[in-house]
Structure 1
Amino acid sequence: MLLRGKTVVVSGVGAGLGHQVAAACVREGANVALGARTEANLAKCAAEIDPDGDRTAHRVTDIADEAQCEALAALACERFGGIDAVVHVAALDTLMGGLEDADFGEWERVLDINLLGTLRMTRACLPALKEAGGRGGGSVVMIGTQSSVAAPSQVRQAAYAASKGALVSTMYSLARELGPHRIRVNTVQPGWMWGPMVEGYVRWAAESEGVEEDAVRGRLEEKMALPEMATDGDVADTAVFFASGRARGITGQCLLVNAGEIMR
């Protein structure tokens, strides 16, 4: 168990990646404090991954609200005695479009959530992470996106890509700033990952084009080195690795989890 005896805060726990990250953390031995904007999603996830309720706690958390971030961090400390890692899944990824049709007010909202919200949550956890550093090491794991380094041709999400690109730039600064406290800062960059969101896209594209869903999925996978795309669970496992002591010598790094669609 990579996270035995550790406590992890996970933001953005819904039906997809956030759920998978929380489940992987519990499976690897961690106590987990779950945050998301929707109470029903939190309760459902906690019941599924920890039926006895011994290893999870949850609180409604909007990372756009600093007080709510602080409350989630406080819950983790009160319930489990500290925080060893935080995994940032919460993000706004529904704004579509590019420059010509951009509403910069909406872009600001994306940046406020994806960049500043991640930093709010990190800062709220920082005192406890410093204590974890004194015990051997703390970890901040950001979820980025492949689209910040290679824009996909199928969809246009310029604001989302820009916000995640800014987050990677900030990661380098944080790795330097927090490194003396033995706090590592890394980013997982998923490409297309099979889970609820991509499944929904495949259904929509198939219906729009009048083709089979397998044809749409095959079109996505044909550029990948592996014969199938990574899953939400694959990305979650990578986040667990970064949160664990197995990655104790790794900081300021981005790792693509994309079945080899692009390589760098």
Structure 2
Amino acid sequence: MLLRNKTTLITGVGSGLGREMASSMLAAGANVVIAARSADGLRQAAKELDPSGERVLAHPADICDEESCEALVTAAVDRFGAVDSVVQVAAFEDAFGGLFDADLDKWSRAFDTNVLGSLRLLRAVVPAMKERGGGSVVLVGSQSAFKVAMPQGGYAASKGALLSAMYYLADELGPDGIRVNTVVPSWMWGPNVQLYVDFRAQTEGKSTDEILEEIVGKFPLRRMTEDSEVADAAVFFCSDLSRAVTGQYLLVNSGELMR
């Protein structure tokens, strides 16, 4: 197993990508610390992911709060002895609109969560990784930073800023053996996209297959990437298979955009 005897900390664990990240890390052999703001949701996720409770620790945390981040890392080290990798999934997405109709308070929240929240988390976890002798940081970007798909400029801009920050983080943390990479999804088949597709099908009087065809019909793979496939890419970044890879981003998008 790629991550046997390793511990991965994952934020933003809910019903979508964060949950799949946890599942994939467990399948790869890791101990997993799952975090989100909802304590009830975390407890349920932990029971479903690992009924034995031996390999999963659920700990509520808010990446917009430095003390909360520090408490999360402390809990992880106390339970499993170390943190080998961190996957930063938690994000604020509701920053839509154009120049004149955008809610700038939501833009601000997007940057505070997606960029500064990531930095708060890393400030808390990097010292533990240094003690371990190195580690891996996996950030979650968005193809919206490269290609306009929906009017979500605030979210896209924050993810673009996070990608820029990655290069500086990789340079700064590399001497300590800490790698920093970004997995960049686009459309992902999961609960949120399923709701969107179902809504469009109902309101437009079309079948879900027709809506899906409109979205993915010109993708080289002719299908939508699944949450679990993005999670598998993160497993690669967390594993020793990528031990010489840092400061890189990987598009996981069924070929929708090639760079």
* TM-score normalised to structure 2 length: 0.98
Amino acid at match of 1:178: L
Alpha-carbon offset, residue 197 of structure 1? 1.0
1:12 aligns with 2:12: yes
Cα distance in 2 for partners of 1:240, 1:197 equals 22
Q: Which moved more, 1:178-187 or 1:202-211?
A: 202-211
Cα distance in 1 for partners of 2:14, 2:85 equals 19
Cα distance in 2 for partners of 1:24, 1:40 equals 22
- Secondary structure class of the residue paired with 1:36: coil
> Which structure 2 residue ranges, 5 or more long, are not aligned?
none
Superposed CA deviations along residues 20-75 of structure 1, whole A, max 9, x for unmatched, are 00011111111111100111221121111111000011111111111111111111
Cα distance in 2 for partners of 1:145, 1:235 equals 11
- Identical counterparts, % of pairs: 52
Alpha-carbon offset, residue 86 of structure 1? 0.2
Amino acid at match of 1:205: R
Cα distance in 1 for partners of 2:97, 2:239 equals 37
* Residues 95, 103 of structure 2: 8 Å contact kept: no
Amino acid at match of 2:164: S
> Which structure 1 residue ranges, 5 or more long, are not aligned?
none
Superposed CA deviations along residues 82-130 of structure 1, whole A, max 9, x for unmatched, are 1000000000112322222122122111100010001111111011111
Pairing partner for 1:224 from 219, 223, 238 = 219
Amino acid at match of 2:140: I
Structure 1 segments, 4+ long, off by >3 Å, are: none
1:188 aligns with 2:187: no
Cα distance in 1 for partners of 2:37, 2:257 equals 33
Superposed CA deviations along residues 129-177 of structure 1, whole A, max 9, x for unmatched, are 1123x2xx3000000000001111xx21100000000000000000000
Q: Match for residue 136 of structure 2?
A: 139
Pairing partner for 1:203 from 198, 204, 207 = 198
Q: Match for residue 157 of structure 1?
A: 152
Number of equivalenced pairs: 259
Alpha-carbon offset, residue 207 of structure 1? 1.6
Q: Which moved more, 1:163-172 or 1:59-68?
A: 59-68
Q: Match for residue 48 of structure 2?
A: 48
Q: Match for residue 246 of structure 1?
A: 241
Q: Match for residue 97 of structure 1?
A: 97
Q: Match for residue 171 of structure 1?
A: 166
Alpha-carbon offset, residue 179 of structure 1? 0.2
Cα distance in 2 for partners of 1:157, 1:23 equals 29
Superposed CA deviations along residues 222-263 of structure 1, whole A, max 9, x for unmatched, are 121102111000000001110111100000001000000010
Q: Match for residue 3 of structure 2?
A: 3
- Secondary structure class of the residue paired with 1:189: strand
